[in-house]
Structure 1
Amino acid sequence: MTQSPATPLPPPKERRRLREARSLTQAQVAARVGVAPSTVRAWETGRTTPRGRNREAYASLLAELASEGADSPVRTKAPSPEAEQAPAPAPEPARVQPALTPAQAFDTLYAFCAPALVRQAYLLTGRRELARESVERAFQLAWQRWPEVARDRDPAGWVRATAYEYALSPWHRFRPRHRHPEPPPAEAADRALLDVLLELPPPQRRTLLLYDGVGLDLPETAAETEASTPATANRLLHAREAVAARLPELSDPARLHLRLAELASMQRLRAAKPPTVRTGSERRARFWTRAAIACTVALIGSTALTLRTAPTHYEPPVPPGEKVRGVPPRVAPGSLSERERELRAKLREETVSGPERLVPQAR
């Protein structure tokens, strides 16, 4: 049994051009193919490639868009003899739209991604303040590394991965704010779903949100969570089983997707303005730059002080005391030799029969 070759597709830029030529949005194309809008965005950027039935449906849609553009040529009248003799007017030069500045491009990305990212971070953490802080920190880091982020194939995915990593950081538990829980949602069904999500392990919670909440496919979810595709599939299955065990009505993935969207949209979550985020990023960068300069100056000062107070020549240490030569060693008393006995006897005899001592007499 032979395998049929894959349906050919135009390049990613051509896919986007065909869609924009017919004034279609990514959501409309996704509805006609039967996938999520984020999947169509990934196809047009070249980050992923459709497979199977989605590839065939997407290829047929692009072929239809291309044929519609080819079947509608612009009709022109036949030139009259007078028009043939008259010189043709010079074509008007095409208007070149000015390129966006880095700040304008950043503000556009922030306005497009920040509201949805705040809601997703809330589903990950169950905390409104932490969700807003995670998104702001992610965009501040993106502004600091804007040349890298702007050239990335998926800037929105870059910021989303950074926000998820900050939101799920285990160091938040040591913050005083983390000790006080925030008020839960008002609806009982929303509280039950949020409790189930927060009871899941962080890897399973993130995988479930990316696949059933955001709408990424399995390879994209595996790439963003830095895991293999089989491991991501197992995480997704275990997360769905845990949710279905507590909430049987959410065993259907489509129903779970709608409930996640409803739970996130019911909360009043607002992101800061783009200029505020850029200002905070620049202020943080200045702070760390000044801290690095201060540490460098302190290190240079301590090194200079050490060089100033260090000795200029080598002074050997004072050695310990040494023995004086020529002095016989001290020995313990023992038996006398024959010569020593004779000397002792002589001394004793002279003491007894020695010369008379002079005794003073009074006059």
Structure 2
Amino acid sequence: MTAETTTASPTSARVPPQRDHFRELVVTELRDAITRLPESVRDCVSYHFGWQNEAGEPISAPSGKAIRPLLVGSCARAVGGRETAALQAAVAVELAHNFTLLHDDVMDRDSTRRHRPTVWTVFGDSAAILAGDALLMLATEILAAESSAAVPKLSTALLRLCDGQARDVAFEGRETVSVAECFAMAECKTAALLNCACELGALVGGGTTEQVRLLGSFGTQLGIAFQLVDDLLGIWGSPERTGKPVYSDLATRKKSLPVAAAMNADNAAAREFTELYARPTALSTAQLSTAAELVERAGGRAWALEQIAQRHRAALDYLAAANPEPRAAQDLHRLAELITARDH
């Protein structure tokens, strides 16, 4: 349901080193929180987080970069709050995010995540869905214990996320979609939770109403950029980086932002691509390569790269307007670079 659902997180920029300690605290709290889950779903969740293998034996598998928890902590510091005061909110956001990943893998029938078999392929559809449900309930419980005012923000974000996912699924049954429709979908599907992470950090950090709003807008712009990066990787990303076959989004006829931009361009490549994409039969490897070339010739790739740059600039403008604490602002700049990394 989010940008991380189809590919690995961007890797060309690095998480700010000074945030490693906070990330470790989040992981420690996540491990502790998972012990509160019913035993019937605990193995699925621990496997999903990379803490154990299929047999239940402890391992240390690659995990995500914890971008959303880091945004929570850094936004709390940005408004003058203590990062540790935002720890439980950060854990709740990460649990909610992983709820979406578990469900999304089932819906999309994705067989790998972070270069490992997905939970549903190992434990079955029902187990994966129930594990996701359990993470959502746990996230709400943790956040409610920390701040009752924060719970509606998470609920609203997740409702928007579900709306975005529903729109994305509906696009699969249509031959074309507009760029505006794709942006609206991305703002819900991916940006809503990044907006929420930033708003929650500012809220529990004691920020003003205006700071909460501005930092939320910072997160929204980064979320849209994140989706654009993910969409580019879904077409041109290497299997070594994404853990998916090359042209994976084209193979499933996904109406991603670069695809929508290409379809709606007024040129011969756009028309040829739209005709190819509408064919009822599966595209061969050669046809997928042609489709990727046509998206680029129609202008979809260049357009997406420019949009990422624009969203990055807009995010930083919102950040500056929030008058953040200087050191926290530096960390948020680094996270913005990580999220919008464009090495395609």
TM range (shorter): under 0.3
- Judging by fraction of residues, say which structure has more helix: 2
Structure with higher Rg: it is 1
TM-score if structure 2 supplies the norm length? 0.26
TM-score normalised by structure 1 residue count: 0.25
